[in-house]
Structure 1
């Protein structure tokens, strides 16, 4: 990710490669606690790496998920990497309300029923890094998985340690 994935907003204050790296760690932690397969963990990892790569600004930027999903798909094709439909959908809808994302995932015949779980894990991991926006950046009532609720203090600690290291 550090060397090969291009972020359109390299000077972003909030949606950095460091943010994507923390989301990657958090998705893998939640996924491991859920007992996901290696393939499912890979799907989440790729979503974490690509999810904010096509942002145009640090605001809501509806559509950055679809742009990032297309970038992921093209990147896999051009670099002879294995493409995962679940990664595409998770990335595509991560910037949408759950009512939209879950509906689109559920009606796709190419996705397994586990895709909903992967989507929820990813959204929780992305949300857990909202402490970078400030101490009240995360409203825990919106977390979807019990594992994410148990990682709230860790997410705060992780961001604090990274901040101390960068001082």
Structure 2
């Protein structure tokens, strides 16, 4: 059996105890639905692309263009990936061509918009900062001031989803 709080492994013991207690009392889903009552409506790839492009235009106008933005059924959150940013460069006709792609786990098709936005901001930040370093998280927070709280809540959501099934 997998560890029930694997998405919260890096968090403080007290926070993990609170999450475990909410799971035991079956109150975590209610907590999440109260805090985030609705799911977003961006369920198709072209809607996701428009959503990502709008965020990119607002916060990262000068960054490289995106060649593809899709939901990906092959990304499994159990492999610690919620989204992927890929950068491919090749020589084509004597010129260097590059492509930036963002793939979001299909598990986020039915989630609150706040969680989708947090994942998109995370992947957009990789256009500028490849590593998960201080500059990376500062950029995430610049684009989304409550980034860290949303990341925690999204991890609680994934925990509830894995243990008890659908939340919404």
Length-normalised TM-score, structure 1: 0.30
Q: Which of the pair is proportionally richer in strand?
A: 2
Structure whose CA Rg is larger: 2
TM-score, structure 2 as length reference: 0.29
Higher helix fraction (1 or 2):
1
